[in-house]
Every structure is written in C-alpha cells, then in structure tokens.
Amino acid sequence: MMDLAVCDTCTLIQLRKGEILYCLNQLFTGVYLPQAVVAECQDAETLEEIKQLNCFKVQTARHLLPVKLGPGEREAISLALELGNAVFGSPYKPVAGLKSNGLSKAKVKVS
C-alpha cells in the first residue's frame, strides 16, 4: 500500500465514472481532497460517493504555489508538496503546468 494521494476534480470524476473510486482507499493509507477541489466538483454523484466511502480527508493547503492552473489543480499540487510523500493524480493539465512553471517531477510524483 502506498502512502498518501492527493486528487484533483477531474481525477475524482473519472474514477467515479469508471466505477473505481473506491479503489483509492485500498491503494493509499490516506486520500486527501483539497478544499478547492470539493468546491469545484459540481458532479453530485461523485460528491455523494465521496461521502459514502468516508475515506477522504478534506484539507486546505497552507501555501499555494504561484502557478497558472485552475484552483483545484493548484491547491492539489500545493497540498501534495506540503504533505511530502504524496502521489498527485491528474490526467491532464497539471503535468503540463508543472513543466511550464519550472516545478520538478522529482518534488511531486505525478501519476
């Protein structure tokens, strides 16, 4: 089992649509959702499943990185860095955002 995971909005919705959202608590000892991700998530079914699974910890990042990303992605990356040994999951923009903003993938594991 891996240590920690931090999810952004797109990741949550895609995992729920694939009916595998429940797998996160089997793969990680802790699964964190930044407050901005919860606020961003307009998918009622995803929010309901998150509540039912009761394995997610909602946490606000103390310091937001000065990067040009959406609020959820920005806070998710910031929180992953603050937590230390955390895997950040997003299939789209954050990877490009990390590179274009000069952040090293060594600092945050992008899956």
Whether the CB-CB separation of 22 and 51 falls below 8 Å is answered with no
- Mean pLDDT for the stretch of residues 65-75: 90
Residue 67 has pLDDT above 60, yes or no: yes
**Residues of the chain above pLDDT 90, percent:** 22
pTM: 0.75
pLDDT of 78: 92
pLDDT at site 35? 94
pLDDT at 48: 87
pLDDT of the residue at 79: 92
